Amino acid sequence: MSSPAAKSPFVAIVCGGTGGHLFPGLAVAEQLQKRGCTVALLISSKDVDQQAVKSARGMEIFTLPAVALQNKNYLFFVKGFWNSFCAARKFFKQRKPDAVLAMGGFTSAPPILAAKKFGAKTFLHESNTIPGRANRFLSRFVDEAFVGFPVAAARFRAKKVFVTGTPVRLQFQPCEIAACRTKLGLDPNRPMILVVGGSQGGTGLNEMILSALPLLAGKNWQWLHLTGANDFEKLKSAYAARGIKAVVKPFLSEMDLALGAAAVSVSRAGASSLAEIATMRLPSLLVPYPLAADNHQFFNALAFKNTGSAKLLEQKDFTPEKITDILVELMENETTRSIMQSALAQWHAPKAAEQITENIVGAIARQREKMAQAKVIRCSCGHAHGSAKHVH
Alpha-carbon span 63 to 45, nearest angstrom: 6
With 70 as the cut, is the pLDDT of residue 386 above it? no
Question: What are residue 80's phi and psi, to 5 degrees?
Answer: -65, -40
More confident residue, 48 or 211: 211
With contact defined as beta carbons under 8 Å apart, do 184 and 247 qualify?
yes
The pTM of this model reads 0.88
Architecture of domain 7-167+351-381: 3-Layer(aba) Sandwich (3.40)
Query: With pLDDT > 70 as the criterion, what percentage of the chain qualifies?
Result: 91
Cα torsion 153, 156, 161, 165: sign: negative
Instruction: Name the residue with higher pLDDT: 21 or 330.
Output: 330
User: Is 69 in a helix, a strand, or coil?
Assistant: coil
Q: What is the pLDDT of residue 230?
A: 86
Q: Is 127 left (phi over 0), alpha (psi -120 to 50) or beta?
A: alpha
Q: How confident is the model at residue 201 (pLDDT cuts 50, 70, 90)?
A: low
33 CB contacts (<8 Å, ≥6 apart)? 39, 58, 59
Res 265: pLDDT: 98
What single-letter amino acid sits at 59? M
Quote the CA–CA distance of 9 and 385 in Å, as a whole number.
34
Q: Can you give the pLDDT at residue 135?
A: 86
pLDDT in tens, 169-183: 999 988 899 999 999
Supply angle C-alpha 200, 128, 196, rounded to 5.
35
Instruction: Determine the pLDDT at residue 390.
Output: 43
- Say which CATH topology domain 177-347 has: Rossmann fold (3.40.50)
What are residue 146's DSSP bridge partners?
125, 162
The residue with greater pLDDT, 123 or 134, is 123
Poorest-pLDDT segment among 50-59, 118-127, 281-290, 291-300: 50-59
Contact by Cβ (8 Å): 313, 286: yes
- Amino acid (1-letter code) at residue 353: A
Of 46-50, 283-287, 326-330, 378-382, the range with the lowest mean pLDDT is 378-382
Q: Which residues contact 18 (CB under 8 A, 6 or more apart)?
A: 46, 48, 105, 198, 199, 200, 270
With a cut of 90, say whether residue 53 has pLDDT above it.
no
- Short-list 323, 189, 177, CA closest to 259: 177
- Per-residue pLDDT of 62-84, as tens digits, reads 988 866 666 666 677 788 789 99
Angle at 348 between CA 107 and CA 112, to 5 degrees: 20
Q: Where are the domains of the chain?
A: 7-167+351-381, 177-347
Q: Are the folds of 7-167+351-381 and 177-347 the same?
A: yes
Give the number of other CB atoms < 10 A from CB of residue 312. 20
Residues in the chain: 392
